[in-house]
Each structure stands twice: as C-alpha cells, then as structure tokens.
Structure 1
Amino acid sequence: MRLIRLFPDDSKFRFVRWRWLSFPFSAAISVATIILFLTIGLNFGIDFTGGTLMELQAKNGVADMASVRDKAHGFDAGEVEVQEFGSGGQVSVRFRVQPGGEPAQSALVSKARAAFEADYEVRRVETVGPRVSGELVQSGTLGIVLAIVCVLVYLWFRFELTLAIGAVIGTLHDIVLTVGFFIITREEFNMTSIAAILTIVGYSLNETVVVFDRTRELLRRYKNIPTEELLDISINSTMSRTMMTATTTALSLLALVLFGGQAIQGFANVMLFGVLICTYSAIFVSSPMLIYLGLKTSGRAAADEKAEAQARAAKARA
C-alpha cells in the first residue's frame, strides 16, 4: 500500500531563494505589530484588567441585544461590553472595575441580576479584582519569559550555536506575529491566550527542530556544496512530514473553531493562526536565516578560510 504524500519526496523546489520576499514581509509585519502594541495595545480581558463578567441565556432563546445594551449602560458603571455568542440567545456582559472597590462591584452584580432575571437566566458571574489581575499579568509575563529562556537553554545544548540562534529567531518571530493577531482581530487576551502562546512556542520549536536536524545531518554528508543548496535539500526532504503535521493539526483546530463553542473559540482561533505561521516560519524564515548567520559546510568553510589566508598573504607581499 502506497503511503499518502502531500509533497513529493524527490522535490527540488528552491525555498531559500524566496528569502528576498519572506524577510521583508516578516520584518514589516513585526515592526507594524510593535507599533500597534505601543499605540493600540492588546484587548485585555477581565483576567488582566479586573472587573465582572456575566453570561446570560435568553429564556425564550432569542436575545434582544438593543435592550441588553440599554440596561447595561443604564447602570452608570463606566465602559460596558455587550456581545452575543453562540446560537441560542447567549449574551456576555462585561463591566470594568468600579471605583468603590469590592462593595461597589457586588452592588453592580446585584443590580444587573435584578434587571436581567425577568428575561434572562444568569449562567455565570465571574469577578476579578485589580490586585488579582495585576498578579495574573506578572505571572503570565513571567511564564512566557521563563518558557523562552528554557527554549534557549534547550537549543544551546541541542544544536551548535548557529542553528540555535536561527531557531530562537524563528520562535521569537512566531510570538511577535501571534501578538499581532491578537491586536488586529481584537481577540480578548486572557489567561487562555497565555496558554495558546506557550503552545505555539512548543509547536514552532518542533517544526524548526525537524528541519534543523536534517540540516545538521546533511552538513556531515555534503562537505562542499553551497549553503543555499544544502538548506533547500533539508527543507525538501522534510516537507512531506511538515505538510502532514500542519494539515492534520490545522484540520483538528478548524473543527474546534467551527464546532467547539464559545468556551474554546478564542484558543482555537489563535492556535489555527499559530500553526500556519509556525509552518511558514520554519521554511521561509528560520532556515534562510542560517545563511546570514554564517552556516557553512566544513569543506566550504575550510576552502573559504584558505582563500582568505592566501588573499591576506598576497596583500602583505604587495
């Protein structure tokens, strides 16, 4: 029985030559993400900003969004976010932290219950105070930083320095573009988003390591071929596995996006984007970056050193 191949085993596609397009594209998106992060910022959820989330279920199965918004804004509670989700009259109402502290927040919840309970069933009420949200911000940031540091340490021992730096650049590239996805789509950034970013870090590292393992193997086998050709061989030889992994993962995430429900909608959206970005990064960013980091076959490096020595000697004699 012949195995399914999403990419030909004998392919000789020149992936690395497309760095003239992928590098400016990734650089432009990364710079735009940093600018948007500093100007617009992320859409932080209640986990990070503090406040109260109420999830309502219309008793008749149809939510009157205009009525819900009018009632929510009538509480004089500052900025209020009202969104419909699902398909059965489900509504989420988010209130920001109230100036009066916990007593004011509890009074707001009681007032909202009284206003909505005639037509809606209150499914969930979640309140996070400013102190707790601040601790969550610190913990989430610390978690991401520690994960990246652990990745750096792992790569340092796993590969030689040049390959390790290339893998780190690819991973950081994927994190930046994922943050850009949050900013552009205004997807709520909460503790689940932290989990999604950490998962993307792991997936990005996995995709890059597969290609770099083959690159390191070919470095021992081919002593004198140009670096571009060696990288193209390593990418082509692992492309079938890369495409199979990315396709099966993306199909699973697509099912979660379409049928998973509101609870995991945000996580599934980010992960689906992350799989696409990580696959692109491993092929068009991390591997071509090795050229600029000075990766060379042993024979080629020795030949270059000899040529440089001869040039210096000729210059000295002149």
Structure 2
Amino acid sequence: MEIFKHDANINFLGMRKVSIAIAVFLIVASLGLIFTKGLNYSLDFTGGVLVEVDYAKPVNIADVRADLTKAGFDNAVVQGLGGTREFSIRMQPKDDPAALKAKTNADRADKVATDVRAALSASRPDVTIKRHDFVGPQVGQELRTDGVYAVIFVIIFIMAYLWMRFEKRFAVAAVLTEIHDALVTVGILALTHREFDLTVLASVLAVVGYSVNDKVVVFDRVRELFRLARKAEPQEVLNRAINNTLSRTIITSLFTAITMGALAILGGPAVHGFAVTMLIGIVVGTLSSIFVASPILLWLGVTKKDLMPVSKENPELARRP
C-alpha cells in the first residue's frame, strides 16, 4: 500500500533552509514558553492531599468523579485501587477554599477529607474514608528531576545505538532531531496549559522512542542508496531516501494517530493526557523525519565514503568509492 509513488522525486532538501529555520524558531519558542509560562504540573509533581475512600457496594469511577465535580472539586484526580469499591482522590488544598483557613497541613488534610466525604455521601451514603494524608512537594520535585534524567538517558542511549549501527553523523542528526521533537511537544503542552502528570511524562519518552524509529527507517534507506549508487551527490541520495520511505512514514503515523485518537476519546481521563501528548508527538516527529533530520545530515557532510564497509586488510581501499 502506497500513498506516494516509490520513485517520487519531491525536492525536500531544496526546502532545507526554510524547514531548519522553522525548526529553530519552534525550539526557541518552546524554550521561551517552558521558562516563562511554565508547565501545568499535576499533583504527581506538586503534592497535595490524598484521600482514600471505600464504598460498601461497587460504584463506577465516573460517578465518583461526577459527585466531586458537582460539589465543586473540578480538579480532583480519581483513580481506582484495584477494584470497583476503593478509590484514591488527590487534590490541592486550594481546591477546597474552606481548607485554606486551616493553620497546618494536617488540619487542611482533615478538612479536605471531611468535605470529600460530604460530597460523595450526598448520593452514596455507604462511602467511608479509609485514610487521608498531606503529600509534600518534595516528592514531586524528585519526580521532575528523575523525569529529566530519564529523557537525557534515553537520548544518550539512542545516540550510542545509532553511532554503532550507522555512523557518528547519523547519531548526531538523530539526537538533534529528537531534542527538537521533545522540546516542541513539551512547548505545545506549555502553550495549551494542559496538565503535566506522570502519564504525560511517559508519553514524552514514548514520543522520543517513536520518533527515532522513523529516522532509523530513513537513515537505513540513505545508507542503502549510498552503497548502491556509483556516482550520486549526497543531496540527491537524501532526497531519494525520503521519497522512497514517504508512504511508509505517513501510513505508520496515520494508523498510530488513529489508535491514539480512539484512546483519547474512549480511554477515559486516566489515559487522556498520554494519548493527546502522543498525538502531538506523532505530528511533530513525522514532520521532523521528513523536513529536519536529513537536512541536518546533509549539513554535517555525510558522504558515501562514510558508509562503506571497512576492510581489515586495507581500510583505506575498502572505503574508496
């Protein structure tokens, strides 16, 4: 199945100055948004009050959320605890104005727990509070730091893998593009002020992994064409590689996007952030695979000589085109 002909000849590299300029602008704009507007961190990162409730009879989690919303707790995070009777509810004390009058965090947690029970028992009197506690921001700070380290380690290992499989210029091009994809995705989250929780962080890591897959397909085709072509300019080879893999790139991204779209619509609040972030990352990663990765590779000066197998007897002779 092909959307574009295998031998199409769209001059993507002819647009490289414009595409790289747009990519640089998006990176700078994303950094500006992240450092000025900031991310809308969820309770996973900021801390808050944790309330665990237990129902005598099974209840739908959507009904629990509806009862809390009806009582004014719009930002409460509700998660099941392995069944249909026990749930954890997390929220900021500021979401409960009465709790802000309390002097200590323990008193605020007590007040939030009391108000949560009142909100839930209005429709289901069989609810009880199992425990409640105040979670400080120290844990959230540790999670943010670990998340940044996770992204850095992923990018480093991707670079090492591509360095071994292809050549150092391919590794550098892929890493620069991955940094672009991650920053632009997070920048869009900052712009839209979407809640940034652990599932969104996991989605950003998934975007990095998904995006590099597209680059590897294009780079593999570049290597193959360089070795097959007797005399061809690097720009011509890179253009041909993008065109040859264009249908595969579009089809893969399209079907992945359809899956994420279904998850965003039907998956519920628990995975909504993950799915939406993946949709953003798929669009950004697909465009960067076509318009950013190869122009960077061309700028780094990749040639046929760099990709020829090395002979143990005479390395220079083996690399000769």
**So what's the TM-score if we normalise by structure 2?**
0.77
The 10-residue stretch of structure 1 (112-121 or 132-141) with the greater mean CA deviation from structure 2:
112-121
The answer to whether the aligner puts 1:203 opposite 2:210 as a matched pair is: yes
What do residues 15-59 of structure 1 show as CA deviations (whole Å, max 9, x unaligned)?
A: 111223221212111111111111111111111111136798668
Deviation at 1:200, TM superposition (A): 0.8
Task: Describe the shift of the 1:57–1:112 C-alpha distance in structure 2 as closer, same or farther (beyond 3 A).
Answer: farther
**Are residues 1:140 and 2:147 paired?**
yes
Give me the whole-angstrom Cα distance separating, in 2, the residues matched to 1:17 and 1:159: 24
Tell me how far apart the structure 2 counterparts of residues 44 and 268 of structure 1 sit (CA, whole Å). Answer: 17
What's 1:40 paired with?
Answer: 37
Instruction: Report deviation, 1:260.
Output: 1.3
3-state SS in 2 of match to 1:229: helix
Checking the alignment, whether the CA contact within 8 Å between 2:106 and 2:134 is kept in structure 1 is: no
Matches within 5 A, 1:19-38: 19-38=16-35
- Provide the secondary structure at the position in 1 that maps to 2:92: strand
Q: Does residue 16 of structure 1 match 2:13? A: yes
Q: Is residue 2:195 matched to residue 1:188?
A: yes
2:97 matched to 1:94? Answer: no
Q: Which residue of 2 aligns with 1:170?
A: 177
> Residue 14 of structure 2 aligns to a residue in which SS?
helix
1:256 equivalent in alignment to 2:256? no
Residue 160 to residue 102, structure 1, CA distance change in 2 (3 Å): same
Q: Structure 2 CA distance, aligned partners of 1:20 and 1:119?
A: 62
Partner in structure 2 of residue 112 of structure 1:
115
Matched AA of 2:287: Y
Aligned to 1:130: 137
**Structure 1 CA distance, aligned partners of 2:151 and 2:133?**
25
- Structure 1 pair 64/207, CA: closer, same or farther in 2 (3 Å)? closer
The separation in 2 between residues aligned to 1:261 and 1:168, in whole angstroms, is 33
What CA deviation, in whole Å up to 9, does each residue of 1:154-210 have, x standing for no partner?
122122111111111111110111111210121111111221111111111110010
> 1:92-133, CA deviations, whole angstroms, 9 ceiling, x for partnerless residues?
873148796652343133232244134355799896332322
Contact 2:68 2:120 in 1 (8 A): no
| Alpha-carbon distance between aligned partners in 1 of 2:30 and 2:242, rounded to the nearest angstrom | 28
Is 1:6 aligned to 2:9, yes or no?
no
Secondary structure of the 2:292 match is helix
Secondary structure, in 3 states, of the residue corresponding to 2:71? helix
| 2:238 aligned with 1:225 | no
**1:224 CA displacement:** 2.9
In the aligned structure 2, how far is the partner of 1:33 from the partner of 1:251?
A: 26
- The residue type paired with residue 143 of structure 1 is A
Secondary structure of 1:22's aligned partner: helix
- Contact 1:170/1:286 (<8 A) preserved: yes
Question: In the alignment, residue 28 of structure 1 is paired with which amino acid?
Answer: F
Deviations 1:60-113 (A, max 9, x none): x97696x734xx6xxxxxxxx64799xxxxxx8731487966523431332322
1:139 offset after TM fit, Å?
A: 2.1
Q: % of aligned pairs identical?
A: 35
Q: Matched residues in 2 for 1:275 and 1:152: separation?
A: 20
CA separation in 2, counterparts of 1:194 and 1:20? Answer: 32
Q: Give the TM-score normalised by structure 1.
A: 0.77
Count residues with an aligned counterpart: 278
Q: Is 1:296 aligned to residue 268 of structure 2?
A: no
Q: Distance in 2 between matches of 1:224 and 1:149?
A: 34
Give the CA RMSD over aligned residues: 3.1
Residues 19, 285 of structure 1: 8 Å contact kept: yes
Counterpart residue type for residue 10 of structure 1: D
